[in-house]
Structure 1
Amino acid sequence: MFADVSLPLLIGLIAALIGTGMVGGVLAGLLGVGGGIVIVPVLYNILPFFGVDDAVRIHIAIGTSLATIIPTSISSARSHFKKGAIDTDLLKSWGPVIFIGVILGTIVAAYANSNLLTLVFATLALVVAANMAFRPDNIHISESLPKTPFKQLIALFIGGFSAMMGIGGGTFTVPILTLFNYPIRKAVGTAAAIGLIIAVPGTIGFLISGLDATNLPPGNIGYVNILGFLLIFPMSTLFAPLGAKIAHQINADVLKKAFAFFLFLTSARMFYSLYG
């Protein structure tokens, strides 16, 4: 995998992966986004430097991202739980449905080609960016979550598309919950716990579904790249509590706008790779 890569480039890429883990960990704790919304596009763009086949690079980016979210979510969720910011009743209600959504999303991803997965990520990243950039914090459509079956359909959506994008669920969970007048800090904390429900079965699914792939680079188990996992997750785990601490101390509006701009650029880059 690394035979044709110069030492300076390899060092730069390793540094980029470590930096990605640091940023992803802070964002996981601060915004409840699980880090995957950062990790997937970074991996997607740097894997070609290692000669990774375009047909599998989005699968590898998603699978590796889900793997890194496991320790990050554990660390972030523990920090939020200590602060009483996790809604255990909502977890009991949504957890099984989210799990089913993850299984369905993983199955779809296993059979989907790279262009479809890239299109899904680019489209939903654009939606998330628009929500972060333009939606006022005090806007909500209802005073509480909808009743069954709409409440369960929301959970199914979160689980399914989070698995297909390689994200921890907070990217969808936080904005959706706040649309229904849900307290932002509890939404962030609960999203961190939901990330674990998504990441564990999602990672297993991408591990299994990629075992028969013939064009994977060395260092992969299924669609999970072990080097990327080992470089990213220590930093993301270490920095997740910092993000959780900051979330309870500052107004993150400016950071949200900056992150939205990053997502706009990410989405545009992916659309260009498909249609440019």
Structure 2
Amino acid sequence: MKNNNLQYRHLKEKFVFSILGLTLLAAVGILGLIIYFIFSKGIGVVDLEFLTQMPTNGMTEGGILPALLGSFYLVSGSILFAAPLGVFAAIYMTEYADKSKTLRMIRIGVNNLAGVPSVVFGLFGLSVFVKFFNFGVSILSGSLTLGIVILPTIIRASEEALMAVPDEYRHASLALGITKWETIKRVVLPASIPGIITGCILGVGRVAGETAPIIFTAATFYTANLPTSVFDEAMALPYHIYALVTAGTSPKQVPLAYGTAVVLLFLVISINLVATLIRNHYGRLND
């Protein structure tokens, strides 16, 4: 009887592992299919000139330099705004705030904010940054809007990373007479850097491909000049793809859209790879 039960449990375990393995293969297969489709359609137009030239002839020829720089400015600005704010908010919620009902409500609000559609953030940015603060349609307005989009992700990831640091680290530091802030700065934060970087990775991956928020706040269909200040509007890779596919009438624009998608996909993968290497480096140091 015991042998039958043991065999049954082994069979059940193998069945569950098989289902999980098939699910993983399906997910990886779908991802590989998407990457193959995009690269097969667009890699033929990607070269040095495509990356360094301005669009010409009604965006049916030339390159994507303005969109490439515009995306870089928007993503950089959003991270510069959201990362410090998100990390400090997580530090306060984890290390200083009382474990009260108010704190639980704040956490629920942050979680709900992460699920708000990005177009709603775009309308918020249009009303607040573009019109109320009179920043206009600009890189600054777009960066602040995208920063708000990824702020909940960074807060939650940073909070989880801080809470994962063992309390023994804090108690040992405080027992040596070190202040609470010094303990956070020299003990807790270094130990939680890999998780914080992960949150920033997720944020970069999201805002790099966002279209709806920047349509209202930063992006322009076409510009003959590169932005020279944060108050200039800019082209961006995701909106450029949208414009080429939906607003164009020339068949030449479709390969350019796929080529732009290849560049965007490569940038996102590269950013994630570099950030993963940084996270692993800090993880080894903490070990």
TM-score by length of 2: 0.29
Structure with the larger RCO, 1 or 2 (CA within 8 Å, 6+ apart): 1
The structure with the largest alpha-carbon Rg is: 2
TM-score calculated relative to the size of structure 1: 0.30
